[in-house]
Amino acid sequence: MELQKWIDQSGPLAGVPGLQRLDMTLAAWHECAKDVATSGGRLCALWADGAAEITVFAALICEPAVLLLSLELPSSAATYPSLADIFPAAARMQRAAADLCGVRARDFDQRPWLRHSAWPADYLPLVTGTPAASSGESAIDQYSFVRVAGDGVHEIPVGPVHAGTIEPGHFRFSVVGEKVLKLEERLGYVHKGIEQRFSELHANDGHRLAARVSGDSAVAYSWAYCQALEGIAGATVPARASWLRALALESERIANHLGDLGALGNDAGFAFGLAQFSRLKEQWLRATEAALGQRYLMDFVVPGGVFTNPQARQLAELAARAADIAKEAVVIRSIYDEHAGVRDRFAGAGIVTPELAAQLGLCGLAGRASAQDHDLRADLPSSPYDELSVRKFTSREGDVAARVAMRFDELQESARIVEEIVRRLPNGAFRSVFALPAAAGMGVGMVEGWRGPVLIALRIESDGRIQRCHPHDPSSQNWPVLEHAIIGNIVPDFPLINKSFNLSYSGHDL
């Protein structure tokens, strides 16, 4: 009932189905978020936007609606009530907003999150009119990691530079012997400047940059971007294009699950699994390229539809390959399940209980492995998912074994969806041409990527240039949960537990 009063006060906003915008006061900001949480809603994203005046936004998922709260502040020096006591994942998002736009939430962690002294503290990268950052070097800040004291406690620092070809991230372990007492992460080392780069582009070109926010989720990001842009323009996407977008999204999901299942087997000391799933992933990427034009589909989703119109023969071959891979995956799954060494490494490692997952806002695949039954494809479906009846898989175990099982189950479901899309694909145009309105506008797109919900918030000028584009990766919710999943486990199990989440550094480090 309390949630309904906020929905009743809101108004529709372009983009994702069910999206409602609600302008807030300082007093109502925290109250509304609390009512959403009490009703079972969850935080999807929080960010800041503006110049002379700053607006803080929070996107809250509360089926059957998505509430976009907007809180206007008089300047970047203003403060606002923290939401971290309601949604713990908000803490890092608020810290990022402080680094980029200057606005600070009250009574929360004040440590810099993204800045790393890479630019002066008084420079605000996303606020126009602030002085340009000096070219001189800044002193490295002394980051205040949380210390754990006691007999036999010592620290193991790992990263930010790693031995493998992965992006930078620092992990500070407090341990006794090999048992982990606490892990604290520090991310955001790359400073790619993606959000600032968006503001230099025309809205019709932004989808290409969106697809490169996090390369393994190119389809999810580019689709969410186009969903926001098409909402602003009031454009209708041809039915065939919507189905082809879903085909690309499921293809992306299959590729990532195949890669992860092999890597997880390898981290458990089972090289056979890596060899087999690497073979299957390469077969799938080749089939994807043959049918859809690219291995990783960074330029497939475009405003108004898709870039290319695949032919029936190519699509039939893609569906056949999906069916073959699904059959082989069943056999390999039985080998994983029957292998005593693999079972021993997977079972009981990195447990996130359903209660902790709900408290911390664990989302996506990792959330479903801890009984968080959420998937936008089923809960807030846009076309064609409203016709595909996506099956959701969940577990209450919350360990590495459960997250592996989720990948096996979702691989089978995605293969089924690929076959159904190819069988039912409508004829007609694969792309429409539309004109942007001659007025400023805002839209939000949300797509369930393979990790979880991906969000794009887009605001454009009257001339079509991007004023602000905020991409949000579900890893922002899930990275803090990894700190809890490792507690009580031994240090050598961290690579396996970390890989079972396989969170994005790039999607987090904008």
Tokens of 108: 């929360």
* For residue 112, cis peptide bond before it (omega within 30 degrees of 0): no
Q: Phi, psi (5° rounding) for residue 481? A: -70, -30
SS3 441: strand
Write the single-letter amino acid at 436.
L
Pick the closest to residue 292 from 309, 316, 279, 273 (CA basis): 309
How long is the chain?
510
- What is the spatial distance between Cα 468 and Cα 197, in angstroms, rounded to a whole number? 10
DSSP-derived letter for residue 152 is T
Tokens of 79: 């403060």
Report if pTM > 0.85.
Answer: yes
- What is the spatial distance between Cα 178 and Cα 157, in angstroms, rounded to a whole number? 14
pLDDT in tens, the chain (510 residues): 588 888 888 888 888 888 999 999 999 999 999 999 999 999 999 999 986 789 999 999 997 789 999 999 987 778 999 999 999 999 999 999 999 999 999 988 889 899 888 888 788 889 866 666 555 555 667 889 999 989 999 999 998 988 777 889 999 999 999 999 999 999 999 888 999 999 999 999 999 999 999 999 999 999 999 999 999 999 999 999 999 999 999 999 999 999 999 999 999 999 999 999 999 999 999 999 999 999 999 999 999 999 999 999 999 999 999 999 999 999 999 999 999 999 999 999 999 999 999 999 999 999 999 999 999 999 999 999 999 999 999 999 999 999 999 999 999 999 999 999 999 999 999 999 999 999 999 999 999 999 999 999 999 999 999 999 999 999 999 999 999 999 999 999 999 999 999 999 999 888
Q: How far is CA 204 from CA 201, 302, 407, 463, 467, in A?
A: 8, 9, 35, 11, 13
CATH 1.10.8.420 fits 2-106, yes or no: no
- What is the spatial distance between Cα 189 and Cα 449, in angstroms, rounded to a whole number? 24
What are the residue ranges spanned by the domains of the chain? Answer: 2-106
Tokens of 117: 């002294």
SS3 157: strand
